[in-house]
Structure 1
């Protein structure tokens, strides 16, 4: 069953869309937390996103760019702001189609079906971990925050993945070293410190300052 995420501020429209699409046997989730749409995106793992331009806090272009930083999932804009400038901007941001409001439900469903058919000739779903707006993409070992993205080394990625998988908990140095070198053999403890220091400096490039904390004598953690 295909899953569709609806990002629409008007509850009347989002409810009508949900009812329509569920009648077509799609699994549907309507976003309610417009401050953090990526939480729903990561947890729900939709096959397609219906996205309005006018939204609280951040507009649809912002969320389109944020999703595109980590995923190839199809994005269909639905908006009454259907002038040529907005349509061109949406397509340039990575949208797959633009549907003007008010729209005919039959046409909308036909467009959704066509986009899904085209899109899922590619394999695999986006695999990612999200915490407080930080997105670790498990497919290409990049980390994104506030529309900024950096590539990680193998060691950077392994450290950050383990810390984000255990967010809110202290991860011991021994556990990190085992994950890092995938071995129970002795590794110089200072080598882990060097790797964490390097990772912290790299995260500062995307404005993540002091994001990895230290519990003296125990290990590291992310709040």
Structure 2
């Protein structure tokens, strides 16, 4: 069980579902808050400063994609979509906007808890490791700040993007299988669409393109991905 009290913002207009989820999460020591005005979600998010956001797609005023985009414009807080919409494009869209996971309604509460716990561990625990930065291809990768900086500039990564990059450069010049990446990111591959990983890797590459580093994340067809590094001179 999670012992720390994490603050969760649940953006859900179904009052019955909201109270059910809030009650269940409270039993796991999560501090759950709803939305008072669905036209001012960003303002309420800024005031609350939650550790994690759970958001529906179909909402009053604006949909969840709009609010995800607004939150992502100034925060890397982890975001999980919780929606009854089941079209593959909805999941793809959520990941492209920077969401960390997607859960389809109706759902088993155990799945929701597992995904929340995995996301919080990934986001708030991995960067307490002793090693906080690495150099790769002449760039400085700062795990804590979620940034990568080179002579071409600096880009900020989401938690998932940084976690993927970290796994790859810690095993540079070695193929990391898709299965290993999925298990490391989400703990249980049975809860994750394979396409979710693809979307996150593509977003990472797009950001690395600004630094001229995208060619060094190679796809090994049928195997996985590899971050390449030049061998040190003898």
Please report the TM-score for the alignment, with normalisation by the length of structure 2: 0.51
1:39 deviation in Å?
1.9
Which position in structure 1 is the counterpart of 2:184? none
* Corresponding position: 1:105 with 2:109: yes
Report Cα offsets for 1:109-157 as digits up to 9, x if no partner.
Answer: 010000000111358xxxxxxxxxxxxxxx9xxxxxxxxxxxxxxxxxx
| 1:16 is the counterpart of 2:48 | no
User: Structure 1: which 4+ aligned runs deviate by more than 2 Å?
Assistant: none
**What secondary structure does 1:12 align onto?**
helix
Specify the alignment match of 2:47 in structure 1: 43
Give the aligned partner of residue 67 of structure 1.
71
CA distance in 2, matches of 1:122, 1:70: 20
Q: Of 88, 94, 116, which aligns to 1:90?
A: 94
**Residue segments in structure 2 that go unaligned for 5+ positions in a row:** 129-144, 146-234
Residue 189 of structure 1 corresponds to: none
Per-residue deviation, 1:82: 1.8
- Deviations along 1:44-66, one digit per CA (max 9) or x if unpaired, are 11000000000001100000000
The match for 1:118 is: 122
Cα deviation for residue 42 of structure 1 reads 1.0
Alignment of 1:27-42 (within 5 A): 27-42=31-46
Larger radius of gyration: 1
Normalised to the residue count of structure 1, the TM-score between the two structures is 0.54
Structure 1: which 5+ runs fail to align? 124-138, 140-223
User: What is the alpha-carbon root mean square deviation over aligned residues?
Assistant: 1.4
| Distance (Å, rounded) in 1 between the aligned partners of 2:86 and 2:43 | 28
